[in-house]
């Protein structure tokens, strides 16, 4: 896969909203969103609210505004994971602050006795820091504004997925301008 041209690589952009910031302390995913990308085109999407089986912290609620009522009747992560993993397949995972998202995904998989995904991962935050020096604040909203990418419904899974996808596609154009044309070259550029 690493030798493939970036236009031929199947990417899947993902984002999770959570009950808090620490999966090691029991925080869980309460919303997941993902979108397929290939050849610069946005494709199929996956979105689910998930019953996390625990309350959402006040801090997390103040960010994403997901209420207990919104999660009433939602499936458990154990129910959603098989479908989500099929959606991910072997595609390259793209996320903004990927280590955070992957930590939560790994925690949820560990709860059901599955290993972390073996997919390659591209962190859009790392790309932004390398390609847009001097911004100071590298929040998704700030980077999206800098690049002219719409970011509606910030801090909700599909709003952040859509903004991350738009930012990622523009940053891919920038790396191509530096002669980076394959997935392996991109991963090398990012120090992965």
Give catalytic residue positions.
Answer: 155
Distance CA 119, CA 117 (A): 6
Q: Report the chain's C-alpha Rg in angstroms.
A: 16
**CB under 8 Å to 69, separation ≥6 — which residues?**
none
Element (H, E) at 13: strand 11-18
CA quadruple 118, 124, 126, 130: dihedral positive or negative? Answer: positive
The torsion region of residue 180 among left (phi > 0), alpha (psi -120 to 50) and beta comes to beta
Q: What six digits make up the tokens of 156?
A: 């909700």
Query: φ and ψ at 167, to 5 degrees?
Result: -65, -45
SS3 141: helix
């Amino acid at each position: 896969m690493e030798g493939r041209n970036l236009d031929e690589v199947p990417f899947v952009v993902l984002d999770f909203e959570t009950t808090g910031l620490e999966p090691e302390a029991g925080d869980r995913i309460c919303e997941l969103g993902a979108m397929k990308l290939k050849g610069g085109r946005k494709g199929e999407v996956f979105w689910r609210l998930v019953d996390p089986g625990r309350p959402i912290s006040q801090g997390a609620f103040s960010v994403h505004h997901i209420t207990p009522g919104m999660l009433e009747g939602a499936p458990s992560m154990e129910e959603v994971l098989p479908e989500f993993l099929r959606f991910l397949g072997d595609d390259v995972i793209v996320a903004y602050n990927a280590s955070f998202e992957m930590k939560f995904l790994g925690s949820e998989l560990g709860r059901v006795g599955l290993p972390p995904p073996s997919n390659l991962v591209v962190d859009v935050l790392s790309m932004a820091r390398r390609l847009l020096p001097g911004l100071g604040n590298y929040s998704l909203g700030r980077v999206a504004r800098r690049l002219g990418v719409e970011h509606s419904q910030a801090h909700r899974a599909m709003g952040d997925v859509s903004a991350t996808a738009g930012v990622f596609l523009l940053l891919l154009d920038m790396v191509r301008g530096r002669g980076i044309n394959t997935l392996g070259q991109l991963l090398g550029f990012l120090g992965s």
